Chain A
Amino acid sequence: MEEVDKILIHALRQVGTEVGENIERVGQFTSELIVEAVVRCIRVIDPGPGGVLPTTLPPGMSARFRVGMSLAQACQDIGYKGEIGYQTFLYSNEPEIRSLLMFLVEKLPRESSEASDQPTGKSAVLHRAIATVIKAQLAVSWVPLNCRLPLHGETQSRAASQKFSVHPLSLPYCNEGQKSLKEVKEYKRDILLPATAQSPSQTSMVSSMLEQHMADLSSTQEWDTEWKSQGLLYRLAPQEYRSRKLKRLRNRIKEQLRSVAMQSPESIYSVCRPSSELSDLLRAFRGPAPFDLILTKGTHFTHTQKFTFTEEATAVKSQVHSGRHSEGDTQLHQQEELALLQQQFQQLCSDIDQIAADMRHRSVTSTQVFDELKQRELENAKNQEDMQVKKTTLELLPDADNNLQKLQSQVETGASRVVNLASQWEKHRAPLIEELRRLKQICSSKDLESSTKLSEIKHLHEKICMATEDAKKKEESYKQLVTELESLPRDVSRSAYTQRILEIVGNINKQKEDITKILSDTKELQKEINNLTGKLDRTFAVTDELVFKDAKKDESVRKSYKYLAALQENCNQLIQTIEDTGTILREIRDLEEQVGIS
C-alpha cells in the first residue's frame, strides 16, 4: 500500500497540492490537506464547478460542514460511486480517503499518455516538429527591418531569402604521383588566397565551399562505382583503363563529327535536318574556310585568270608606249589599231585556250608515256634476267654430264642439309612447345584465379555497401529511439511502478491460493451433500418399504405412510425452493456486479 500512496502523493504534487516532505502515507493526511488535494484534483478534472470551491477549510464548524457537503457533491458529480459525505473529509478514515484519491487521480487528464499514443514514426516526429516550429514562427509578429531583434533572425532576416550562388574556387590539390613544377609550388605558397577569402562575398563563400565539396565527392563516388562495376572486369590498372576509355571516346567523337560533316552539304537544302545543331556548328567553323582555300592553294582557273589579266595590262602598256611615239595620228588609225589589237588579243586568248588545252592533253599523254616507260623498264629487267639464266646454261652445256652430276650432288647436299636442319629444328621445337604449353596453362590458371578474386572483390564491395546501409539504418533508428526516449516523461520513478507491479502480482498469487482453497472446500461440501442425499434416499426407500408392508395390515400405519409420503414431498419441495433461491441470489449478485462495472 505504501507504493500506491507514493504514487498518489506524486500525482497530487503534480496537480499543485503542497504535500510536505515528511508525509509518506495517506494516513498522515490532515483534513486540510485532504480538502486541498481533492479540490485541486477537481479543478483540474472539471474546471467549471471546481473553480468556486475553496482550497482551505474555514475555521467555523458549520462552514466546515458546508464545505464538506459541497465537496462530496462535487465528487459525486464527477462520478464517484463509493460512500461519501461531509464526514469523509472532516473525520477521515484511511481506506475511504485512499479510494477517493485513487479515483480522482485516475480521472486526471493524461497529457503524457496521449502524447505517447500518437504515432511515433520518423515522419510523424518530423511533422510534429515542423508544426510546432511553424506555430512558433507564426506567433512572432512581423517587424520592420530596423527593429529586428535576434529573436527574428531565423525567419525574417535577409539571409533566409538569399540566393545560393556559387563561385568557382581554386584549391591546391596534392597529387602524389606527379611532381609539381617549382612555379606551381611558389604560386600555391605565395599568391593563392585561402579558400575562405576567394569568393567575393561572405554569403557565397559557404555555398561555394559546399558546392566544391559536393562536386568532388560525387565525382569520386561515380568513379568508384564505375570502377567497381565495370572497370574491374577489364583487369587493367586505373590509369590504363582511363587512357583506353579516353582513346575510345576520341575515336567516337571523331567519327560522329566526320559523319555529320559528310551529311551536312547534302542537308543544307533538305527541309528537315535531324542533327541541325551540330551541323550548324560545323558550318560555322567551315564558314571562312573556302576563301582561304582558294587564296592559298589556287586553282587552275585562278592561275589562268591571273595570267590573262597581267598580259592584258602589259598589252595596254605597250599600246600606250607606241601611242606616244606616233604623235598626231588620226582617230581612224587609232580605231584600226584598236580593232587590230582586239583581234590580236582575241587571237591570243584563243591561243592561250588552245595552248592550255594542248598542255592538258600533253600532260595526260606524258603521264601515259611515263607509265609505258615504267612498264618497258620492268619488261627489260625481266628479259635481262632471262638472258642471264640462258647464258649460264649455255656455258654449262658443253660439259653436260659432269655439270649434271655436280648439280645433283649439290642438290643432295642441300637436301641433307635441309633434313639436318629440320631435325635440329625439331630438337629445338619440342622444348619450346612444352614451354609454351606450360606457360599457357599457368596463364589460364592465373586467369581463373584472377576471375575468382574479381568475383570475390565484387562480393566484398556489395557486402560493404550493404553493411554501410545497414549501419545507416541502425543509426537512424537509434536516433529516433533516442528522440522518443527524450520525449517520454521521466519524472515518475521506475522502481516505484515495478515494486507496485510486483506487489500486485504477489497479491494475485495469494488470492489464487485462497480461491483454490475455497474451491476445494466447495468440492468437499458438494461431496457431503451428495452423500447425505444418497443416505436420505436409501433411508426413505427402506422406511417406505417397511411402512408399506405394515400399512396393508394396520389402518393407523396406513395413515402414517400417507404422512411419510407427504413429508417426503414437502421436504423435496423445500430443498428445491432453497436451491432456486440460491441460484437467484447468485444471479442477482452477478447482475449487480455487471451494473457496478458498467
Chain B
Amino acid sequence: MKTTMKALGRISATDCVKLCHRVVDGLCGREPPCRSDYSATWSLEEWLQLLDFLSGLFRSTVGSNITDEEVLAKLSDVDHSHSQAVLSVVRAREEEIRRALLDRTNSISSATLQDFDWQLKLALSSDKISSLNTPLLSLSLDVREKGALRPITMELNKEELSSLISSLEAANKVVLQLK
C-alpha cells in the first residue's frame, strides 16, 4: 500500500489531478485512463495497484461519507500537494461518483437492461402475398446478466408492440411512484 502511494509521487500534482479525473471517468462508465500514457512512469503491476487503490479510495470516500481529514489520513504517505489534489478531485466529482454507485446498486437484480436499439421495417410483400404493407419493429436489447452482456433480438408486429408498450408503461408508472 505504501509503495503504491509512493508511486503516485512520480508524477506532478497537476498530472495527478488529471489521472484521478480519468479514474473517476472510468468509475462512471466512461473511458478509463490509458495505460500507454503512463507506461514510462509505472510498471504494469504498479499501474494496476495504483488504479485499484485510487478507485477503491474514491468509492469508499463517497460511499461512506468520509470527512476530508480522514481522507488526508489515508493519504498520509504522499506529498501534501498530491493528497490535496486527490481530495479536490473527490470533492469535485462527489455527485457523479455517488450517482455511479447508486446505479450499481440499482442494477442489483439478476438481469438489467443495459441498452436497446430499434429499427422500423416495412414489409412490402412476402413469398405468398404480393402486397403486405405490414410495419415490423425489430428490437434488440442488451441485457446484462451476472456480469455478462447478452443480446436479445426480436421482431414485433403492431399488436405485439402495442402490448409491449402498454406493459412497459405500467412498469413506468410503478417506477414513477418510487421517484
A residues with CB within 8 A of B: 127, 130-131, 134, 163-168, 170, 181, 183-184, 186-187, 191, 198, 200, 222-223, 226, 245, 249, 277, 281
Q: A187-B93, A200-B31 are in contact. List 12 more A-B contacts (CB 8 A).
A: A131-B124, A134-B124, A163-B117, A163-B140, A166-B115, A168-B29, A170-B25, A183-B91, A184-B91, A187-B89, A187-B92, A198-B30
Task: For the complex formed, measure the closest distance between the CB of B54 and the CB atoms of chain A, giving whole angstroms.
Answer: 16
**Listed residue (B31, B92, B122) with the most chain A CB atoms within 10 angstroms of its CB:** B92
Give complex CA distance A170, B133 in Å: 42
**B92, A181: Cβ atoms closer than 8 Å:** yes
B residues with CB within 8 A of A: 17-18, 21, 25, 28-31, 88-89, 91-93, 96, 108-110, 115, 117, 122, 124, 133, 140, 176, 178-179
Q: Chain A contacts of B89 at CB under 8 A?
A: 183, 187
Given A127-B133, A166-B115, A167-B30, residue A186 in contact with residue B96 (CB < 8 A): no
Task: For the complex formed, measure the closest distance between the CB of A54 and the CB atoms of chain B, giving whole angstroms.
Answer: 44
Give complex CA distance A187, B92 in Å: 6
Q: Which of A127, A223, A249 contacts B178 (CB 8 A)?
A: A249
Given A168-B29, A186-B88, A198-B30, residue A226 in contact with residue B176 (CB < 8 A): yes
Name the CB-closest residue of A to B114. Answer: A166
Q: Chain B contacts of A127 at CB under 8 A?
A: 133
Binding site secondary structure of chain B: mixed
Q: Which of B25, B91, B178 contacts A181 (CB 8 A)?
A: B91
Give complex CA distance A168, B25 in Å: 10
Q: Which of A170, A181, A223, A277 contacts B30 (CB 8 A)?
A: A170
Q: Chain B contacts of A164 at CB under 8 A?
A: 117
Q: Chain A contacts of B109 at CB under 8 A?
A: 277
**Listed residue (A130, A168, A198, A281) with the most chain B CB atoms within 10 angstroms of its CB:** A168
Task: For the complex formed, measure the closest distance between the CB of B173 and the CB atoms of chain A, giving whole angstroms.
Answer: 10
Q: Chain A contacts of B21 at CB under 8 A?
A: 187, 191
Q: Chain A contacts of B108 at CB under 8 A?
A: 281
Task: For the complex formed, measure the closest distance between the CB of B18 and the CB atoms of chain A, giving whole angstroms.
Answer: 7
Name the CB-closest residue of B to A200. Answer: B31
Q: Chain B contacts of A187 at CB under 8 A?
A: 21, 89, 92-93
Give complex CA distance A104, B133 in Å: 40
User: 21 A-B pairs, CB-CB below 8 angstroms?
Assistant: A127-B133, A130-B122, A131-B124, A164-B117, A165-B117, A167-B30, A168-B30, A170-B25, A170-B30, A181-B91, A183-B89, A183-B92, A187-B21, A187-B89, A187-B93, A191-B18, A191-B21, A198-B30, A222-B176, A222-B179, A226-B176
Q: Chain A contacts of B115 at CB under 8 A?
A: 165-166
Give complex CA distance A191, B25 in Å: 11
Give complex CA distance A170, B92 in Å: 13
**B117, A184: Cβ atoms closer than 8 Å:** no
Name the CB-closest residue of A to B142. Answer: A165
**B96, A170: Cβ atoms closer than 8 Å:** yes
Q: Chain B contacts of A226 at CB under 8 A?
A: 176
Name the CB-closest residue of A to B124. Answer: A134
